Structure 1
Amino acid sequence: MNLKRNGALLGLFAAGALTLAACGSDNNAGSVEVDADASGATCEGKANLSGAGSSAQKNAMDNFVSTYIAVCNEKGSTVNVAYNPSGSGDGRTQFIASQIDFAGSDSGIEGEQAALAAERCAGNPAWNLPLVFGPVALAYNLEGVDNLVVDGEVAAKIFNGQITTWNDPAIVALNEGVELPDTPITAIVRSDSSGTTDNFQQYLEAASNGAWTTGAGSDFTGGIGEGAKGSAGVAQAVSGSPGSITYVELSFAEQNGLSIASIDTGNGPVELTAESAAAAIDGAEFASAGGGDLTLDLTSIFGTDAEGAYPLVLATYEIVCSGGYDADTGAAIKSFLTSAANEGQEGLEEIGYVPLPDSFKTQLTESIDAIA
């Protein structure tokens, strides 16, 4: 099934879910159909959890929260999870400072931040737990061109300024028979620290045949482009700027009615669909060597040349303490994540995500259960 869907309907879903997440309204939760008896969520612990971070996972989080509220309502408990989509970098910073119970991030916490997080977690490591996969669209605004094809090298050269017009020979070679204008290319990039930026730049490193030389990281390193804040910001900027292109999560591209490029990985153009994203995810491996942390090694996804596999896919993590929470917070975290990993996955494909494969769900559940 193609992930694309009616933008107006998606906008209504997102608006309603955002109200729910912000206000904790039981009225909105009442419209969500759930089988509470089948849920493993206990609804125990403190009633109000807090999280912040990745804007890429905002729509998925709305789904998790509304489902969790509905499950707990049926079980006779009133709960809420307030999530602020302030960006992955901000989420990790707030988590380290103990300002929130968990962080959402498109990149795992590591290095110095991981050490600081362990201090916050009473000496226990913070775990990166993937809850949903989100394909990243190369979304563009180019009149008369609805089926653009790019590859990793062309994408890198657009975002580092080596390709500056839409009729550049390298783009023409990938789009035989398409009339490409001499319109200047405007690259729109994230101005804030972003896990989406980090993943996109990792993809460029893996797939550009050496054209991307400025490295990865949560801040854009390409040295060009016009900045906009958040996933919604870059999508809106492209919507209002003919000749522009950005990297953004599929749901935001769809909400703004943007065209989405196919990616040629060496076996022909691959359109962004649920099936093509899942084909790439099948090749993912874990970077961590055992234990409860489930950080993924996405190099094999970004550099895939498997037939029919769409390579630009990021993992959305929840960063949690593996131990060190007070009893009420720990119980609530485990309850919420259990719901999110199971019934919360329902409906994600309809809003632009790829739900957890069963193999990931099994390992994720084991990690959630192991939170002390």
Structure 2
Amino acid sequence: MNSTRLSRAAVIAVAGALFLSSCAANEADTAGGGSESDSTLSGTLVGAGASSQAAGQQAWTAGFQELNPDTTVEYDPSGSGAGRDTFIAGGSSFAGSDAAFDLEEIEAGEFGSCVPDTGIIEIPAYISPIAVIFNLEGVDSLNMDPATIAGIFTGDITTWNDPAIAATNEGVELPDTPITAVHRADESGTTENFAEYLSATAPDVWDAEVSGDWPYGGEAANQTTGVVDTVTNGTGTIGYADASQAGDLGTVAVGVGDEFVEYSAEAAAAIVDASPFSEGRGENDLAIELDRTSTESGVYPIVLISYLIACEEYNEAEAAELTKAYLGYIISDEGQAVAEEAAGIAPISETLFERASAAVESIQ
């Protein structure tokens, strides 16, 4: 067991449980001792938000509740916008969101579960590529540069054999099938991340303001599952979704510098590690300013960083205790590993873990 795993196991001890019950006795003692039955945590923790986190949250909930059998975690994957609204209203103790709160929202300080005028923490615990997915008979993968992707989703490119698509896919037989571009109907952090990428890399084509609301035409579908279902059940359809939901659909390798990069956890992690934290935020607000225009080899720039958002100080002690324990489990080696297996996320780096651990420890 290496030093990285030991430091993260200590975080799980906050949850009152052993990091790995199968470890040898000497390892278990080092990790904080105890066993699943030693947990004294009890109660129900309520969260809501990003549907992109659904598979990860299911894995985290199962793992956490196994270690803490007297707890219940309820996560409603209602979408990032709905989750942030629920957290603001005090209907949940934590939120999942594919976009961090704006500084203006944070300065307003209106978060129902938090002690007034205290800060919030935002932890980028779910890092995943956003896949550009499509359903075109006989085609499994296509190369597209940013301007072509933007042109498809603004409605400027309308057929699959358009010269812009053909130019980067020599030898691929492209039909004259009409393109149906599918987007999120609900306010979505996935939409905001996708729009941010297109605005940064193809500003001459994508000229709309970046937000979680879709600015152009096309076919609308609710939440991640709705977009995937619509693309799957259509002909000549294309959409965007958390890569964990791509399934057997065709996917786009995006142009980065002189190469085309397929999505992967490794490529997503590479772009995150190369990007700075956002300026002007509190010490425990770990919002990241992604460098979407990077031309470094092997980076995948259409990345979704989904945040776990919580109070630094809660109105209720039980909410603070449960949130602190649950978030500590999520950022641990074990928590990141189960979500990697279940949802294909890119585990956070040791450097990011250290900052996230300090943020979790600040909860009271």
Report matched runs for 1:94-133 at 5 Å: 94-120=86-112, 121=114, 122-133=116-127
2:150 touches 2:202 (CA, 8 Å); kept in 1?
yes
2: CA distance, partners of 1:294 / 1:184: 42
Gaps of 5+ in 1: 1-31
Q: What residue in structure 2 maps to residue 243 of structure 1? A: 236
Pairwise CA RMSD: 2.1
- Asked if 1:324 is matched to 2:307, the reply is no
Query: How far does residue 209 in structure 1 lie from its aligned partner after superposition?
Result: 4.6
Give the unaligned 5+ runs of structure 2: 1-18
User: Residues 232-278 of structure 1: CA distance to partner in whole angstroms, max 9, x if unpaired?
Assistant: 00000000001010010111111xx2111111112211111222222
Question: Which deviates further from its counterpart, 287-296 or 152-161?
Answer: 287-296
- 1:279-331 Cα shifts (integer Å, max 9, x gaps): 22221211044511111111x1x211111111111111011111133222111
Question: Which amino acid in structure 1 is aligned with residue 240 of structure 2?
Answer: Y
| Alpha-carbon distance in 2 for matches of 1:226, 1:39 | 52
Q: Show the 5 A alignment for 1:277-356.
A: 277-289=268-280, 291-298=283-290, 300=291, 302-342=292-332, 343-350=334-341, 351-356=343-348
Q: 3-state SS of the aligned residue for 2:160?
A: coil
CA contact (8 A) 1:139 1:261 kept: yes
Find the partner of 2:50 among 51, 54, 62.
54
Aligned AA (1:328): E
Structure 2 residue 184 is the aligned partner of structure 1 residue 190: yes
Of 350, 359, 363, which aligns to 1:358? 350
Aligned to 1:67: 63
Q: 1:158 maps to what in 2?
A: 152
Asked if 1 retains the 8 angstrom alpha-carbon contact of 2:129 and 2:304, the reply is: yes
User: Match of 1:137?
Assistant: 131
Report the CA distance between 1:44 and its aligned residue: 5.5
SS in 2 for 1:365: helix
SS of residue in 1 equivalent to 2:257? coil
Q: Deviations over 1:59-114 (max 9, x none)?
A: 111111111111224xxxx1111000000010011111111111110001124533
CA displacement, residues 119-153 of structure 1 (integer Å, 9 cap, x when unaligned): 53221122221112011000000111112111211
What CA distance in whole angstroms lies between the structure 2 residues aligned with 1:265 and 1:271?
Answer: 10
Residue-pair matches, total: 332
Partners of 1:341 and 1:135 in 2: CA distance? 18
1:43 and 1:332 in contact (8 A); partners too:
no
User: 1:134, 1:250 within 8 Å by CA — same for their partners in 2?
Assistant: yes
Please tell me the residue identity of whatever aligns with 1:105. S
Q: Shift of the alpha carbon at 1:35? A: 5.5
- Given the superposition, is the C-alpha separation of residues 234 and 34 from structure 1 closer, same or farther in structure 2, using an over 3 Å criterion? farther
Task: Please tell me whether the aligned partners of residues 60 and 330 of structure 2 are also in contact (alpha carbons under 8 angstroms).
Answer: yes
- SS of aligned partner of 1:174: coil
> Superposition pairs for residues 80-99 of structure 1, below 5 Å?
80-99=72-91
Q: Within the alignment, does 1:229 sit opposite 2:222 as a pair?
A: yes
Question: 1:141-172: CA deviations, max 9, x gaps?
Answer: 01111121112111111111111111111111
Q: Flag the 1:119–1:131 CA change in 2: closer, same or farther, 3 A.
A: closer
Q: 1:258 aligns with which of 249, 258, 273?
A: 249
Report how far residue 369 of structure 1 moved. Answer: 0.3
Aligned to 2:5: none
> Deviations along 1:151-210, whole A, 9 cap, x unmatched?
211111111111111111111111111111111110000000100000000000111152
Percent identical among aligned pairs is 37
One-letter amino acid of the counterpart of residue 97, structure 1: A
Q: Alignment partner for residue 269 of structure 1, among 260, 263, 266?
A: 260
Structure-1 separation of matches of 2:198 and 2:81 = 21
Cα pair 1:184 1:243 within 8 Å, conserved: yes
Normalised to the residue count of structure 2, the TM-score between the two structures is 0.86
The CA distance in 2 between the partners of 1:95 and 1:253, in whole Å, is 29
Mark the CA change 1:39 to 1:288 in structure 2 (over 3 Å): closer, same or farther.
Answer: farther
Q: TM-score, normalised by structure 1?
A: 0.84
Q: Aligned partners of 1:35, 1:220: CA distance in 2, in Å? A: 48
Paired amino acid for 2:61:
V
Aligned partner of 1:29 in structure 2 is none
Contact 2:90 2:111 in 1 (8 A): no
Change (3 A) 1:43 1:285: farther
Q: Which runs of 4+ in 1 moved over 6 A?
A: 39-42
